[in-house]
Amino acid sequence: MPLQRLITATLLAINTITFAQNKQPMSKLIQSEYQFANKQYKYLMKGIPRDKMPQSYNASSNQVTTRDITWWCSGFYPGSLWMIYEQTSDPEIKKEAERTLHLIETNKTFTRDHDLGFMMFNSFGNAYRITKDPLYKEIILTSAESLSTRFHPGMQAILSWDKMADFKGPVIIDNMMNLEMLVWASQNGGDKKLKEIAIAHANTTIKNHFRPDYSSYHVIDYDINTGQVLGKKTFQGYSDSSAWARGQGWALYGYTMMYRFTKDEKYLNQARNIAKFILNNPTLPKDKIPYWDFNDPKIPDVPRDASAGAIMASALLELGQYVKTDERKNYVDNARQMLISLSGAQYHAKLGENGGFILMHSTGGLPLHSEIDVPLIYADYYYMEALKRYKDWYL
């Protein structure tokens, strides 16, 4: 056997052994985490008013922070419940999941911002995937139509927020996450235009949102009629030119997801390049849980963002499905380290503590003095999704 082929065969064998060695510990970790989530969310349920959704936890007052149902995070709690139910078959969890779906159903006609994907696909999407209840599907299709009304042909993008003091036509990188509902709906009985809108938005975002190193601006401000770029700014990051960590996670996840639906190589390559920026960044800590912004000059004396780590882990696990062995191993190894870190004492709550949330140390909007170093409902959601993906694809 030629030397190069021998080396390649040896490396493949080592990779196979490494994966096999990690299967058993990860299998136990995932099983344990879902059992923990099942108990912890029953504790979380006790602190929630019947007409609100959990968002975070205030340790000083020992109270769960809640939001109205039109808050952009309203889908994460029911979505998390459905994933827990899927793994545990606990009827009490299912009952709470169904109750919260009923509570947010009216959001299917909500058109005041871009967040319907977060609100309705993470919730009803998981519910339909698990139960196949046709009512849930119809709600998703209606929600997708509502979201499509925010598409502006002149700028070939979905308007994230309506005109604000500092922005005339803001489009944020987070919006990539809401495209999933549009494409899914177009392939499951909805109008074909929904997929066309998602593709147009993804292409416009590639064109304008990214720097040469594949880091993403947070906000691109457009003239909604002409598509002219008026500014490249931030709302939640350290500066206009910085790489806000959760935004990089949204970008990685969004383009990986768009490749899943379209098999367009430019989306796969975009995701791979974003992954390189994240994983090779000199400020990414050894435990792989990023600081809230990759460019905060006060690193390491700044908050981490467990939510960004969970989003990145989930995205990397899917990206690993679309690449060859060595590259896949890199993504899966990094995602595994993120999950192991998040399951450890530094980031993981004890049963009955942390208001009932699973993860600690997320950062919502540091420049806004909002949700700094606290649990956040979407950190839990993407953590559980990443655990499920690891179980489904790599065990």
d(CA 298, CA 301): 6
Cα distances (angstroms) measured from residue 207 to each of 114, 211, 212, 216: 20, 10, 11, 11
CA distance 330 to 215: 19
φ/ψ of residue 383, rounded to 5: -65, -45
Respond yes or no: is residue 264 known to be catalytic: no
What is the residue whose two structure tokens read 């995701």?
271
Q: Give just the sign of the alpha carbon dihedral 109, 114, 117, 123.
A: negative
Nearest to 373 by CA among 308, 303, 310, 311: 303
Number of Cβ atoms within 10 Å of the Cβ of 26: 20
Catalytic residue (one of 162, 166, 174, 296) = 174
Catalytic residue among 51, 90, 113, 115: 115
90 is catalytic: no
* DSSP-H helix ranges across the chain: 3-45, 76-88, 91-104, 116, 126-131, 134-148, 179-186, 193-209, 245-262, 265-279, 306-319, 325-342, 377-394
CB 47 within 8 A of CB 356: yes
Residues with a known catalytic role: 115, 174
